[in-house]
């Protein structure tokens, strides 16, 4: 004879009906929402970094397009001051025209020159605003940065160094 | 536990899984479409930004954004799989490079169709953009005019 279970166990089974579904929903929904928020944040961070990369690249190129001086086959910018003015002008124009979106206004620009003033490295430091996990994870304390290197190239030399960008029409 | 359930009860619950699955299927499909669309938007947005900067750079090299940049923008965008349609291009400054106007600033726009129902209104929640028609992505690019100096 097949065991059909006591009356008590049948009642317990009946009373537990649907509980698994509620548990499943309660457990999975926050996880799904967590990953949705994470994906949106990651996408925004990636996009902003890409925009910042483009902006800083333009700024570095503008820097090495200053007037140049020929030092026996090697070329360098005549005036660092003028070059840095251009770099800052490009960054400001980019920020004003929304070429970089979703960042807080406290953007920091760092400029580093090579020994012979023939290379400039521009670093843009920024903080993201409006991330989903801003308050939860302390993302607002994180600094993001993008950097680009610009070289003063010899006239006619259009070969772009692998680790940077080259100003092309300096004469 | 299931071995204690008799055949009659098993018959009673037959097909429940199918009904539950059919309930969850639309949600799963919606999430799938949503992730596809969001991925496309992020990717396309990157392409539009790169294209805007590329066209500004081309304009800066050629001595002005007029004529050069729009072609450069269309070319850059056409590299994207599915070839999205450039729907607008504006030169904000540096149409012709000069001492007083030495920054080429252009804005390019691309339109794409969203496949997820309702995503458009979700994305437009805080804006006044119409919920009809394709989705438009806009990006601004800048470049410094390469004016030759003697």
The residue to which tokens 């929903």 are assigned = A25
- Decide if A130 touches B, using CB distance below 8 A: no
Test A4 with B4 for CB contact under 8 angstroms: yes
Q: Give A134: exposed, middle or buried? Use CB within 10 Å, 0-12, 13-18, 19+.
A: middle
pLDDT of A170 over the 60 cut = no
Strand arrangement, sheet containing A144-152: A108-113, A119-126, A144-152, A165-167
In the prediction, which pLDDT does A122 show?
A: 92
Cα A27 to the chain's mean position, in Å? 33
Q: Is the pLDDT reported for residue B65 higher than 60?
A: yes
User: Where would I find the H helices in chain A?
Assistant: 7-15, 19-64, 80-96, 134-137
Q: What is the DSSP letter of A11?
A: H
**For residue A164, is pLDDT > 60?**
no
Bridge partners for B85 per DSSP: B111
Task: Identify whether the C-beta of residue B137 lies closer than 8 Å to the C-beta of residue B50.
Answer: no
Q: Closest Cα of chain A to B49: distance in Å?
A: 7
Q: B25 exposed, middle or buried (CB, 10 Å; 0-12, 13-18, 19+)?
A: exposed
Which pair of structure tokens corresponds to residue B62? Answer: 């050629």
Say which of A40, A46, A97 has its CB closest to residue B105: A97
Q: Which residues of A23-44 are buried (b: 16+ CB within 10 A; e: fewer)?
A: eeeeeeeeeeeeeeeeeebebb
CA distances to A2, B117, B120, B131, B149 from B114, rounded to whole Å, are 58, 8, 7, 11, 48
Return the HEC string of B30-96.
HHHHHHHHHHHHHHHHHHHHHHHHHHHHHHHHHCCCCCHHHHHHHHHHHCCCCCCEEEEEEEEECCC
Nearest by CB to B142, from A2, A50, A94: name it: A94
Per-residue pLDDT tens for B67-126?
Answer: 777 888 888 888 777 678 888 888 888 888 887 888 889 999 998 888 887 777 766 655
CA atoms within 13 A on the CB side of B93: 18
Question: Residue A40: its chain B contacts at CB < 8 A?
Answer: 38
Question: What is the torsional sign of CA A95, A97, A99, A101?
Answer: positive
As beta bridge partners, residue B134 has none
Tell me which of B1-5, B47-51, B64-68 is least confident: B1-5
- Chain A residues with CB under 8 Å of B45 CB are 47
- Residue among B21, B44, B49 with most chain A CBs within 10 A, to mutate: B49
Q: Which value does ipTM take for this structure?
A: 0.75
Region of poorest pLDDT, from A26-40, A63-77, A85-99: A63-77
Q: What percent of chain B has pLDDT over 90?
A: 5
Q: Determine whether the interchain pair A94/B31 forms a contact, defined as Cβ–Cβ distance below 8 Å.
A: no
Closest CA to A61 of A123, A125, A145, A151: A151
- Across B129-140, average pLDDT: 74
């Amino acid at each position: 004879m097949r065991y059909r279970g006591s009356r008590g166990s049948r009642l317990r089974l009946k009373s537990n009906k649907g509980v698994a579904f509620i548990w499943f929903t309660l457990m999975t929904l926050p996880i799904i929402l967590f990953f949705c928020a994470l994906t949106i944040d990651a996408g925004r961070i990636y996009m902003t970094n890409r925009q910042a990369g483009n902006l800083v690249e333009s700024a570095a190129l503008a820097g090495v397009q200053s007037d140049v001086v020929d030092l026996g086959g090697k070329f360098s910018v005549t005036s660092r001051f003028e070059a840095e003015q251009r770099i800052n002008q490009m960054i400001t124009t980019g920020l004003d025209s929304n070429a970089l979106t979703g960042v807080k206004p406290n953007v920091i620009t760092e400029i580093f020159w090579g020994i012979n003033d023939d290379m400039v490295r521009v670093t843009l430091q920024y903080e993201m605003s409006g991330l989903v996990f801003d308050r939860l994870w302390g993302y607002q304390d994180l600094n993001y940065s993008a950097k680009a290197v610009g070289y003063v190239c010899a006239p006619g030399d259009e070969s772009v160094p692998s680790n940077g960008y080259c100003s092309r029409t300096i004469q | 536990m299931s071995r204690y359930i008799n055949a009659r009860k098993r018959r009673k619950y037959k097909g429940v899984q199918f009904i539950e699955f059919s309930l969850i299927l639309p949600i799963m499909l919606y999430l799938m479409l949503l992730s596809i669309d969001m991925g496309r938007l992020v990717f396309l947005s990157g392409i539009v930004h790169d294209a805007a900067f590329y066209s500004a750079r081309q304009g800066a090299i050629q001595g002005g954004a007029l004529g050069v940049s729009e072609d450069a923008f269309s070319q850059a965008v056409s590299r994207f799989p599915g070839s999205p349609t450039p729907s607008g291009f504006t030169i904000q400054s540096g149409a012709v490079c000069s001492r007083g106007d030495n920054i080429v600033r252009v804005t390019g726009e691309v339109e794409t169709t969203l496949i997820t129902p309702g995503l458009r209104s979700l994305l437009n929640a805080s804006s006044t953009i119409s919920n009809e028609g394709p989705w438009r992505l806009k990006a601004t690019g800048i470049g410094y005019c390469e004016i030759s100096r003697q």
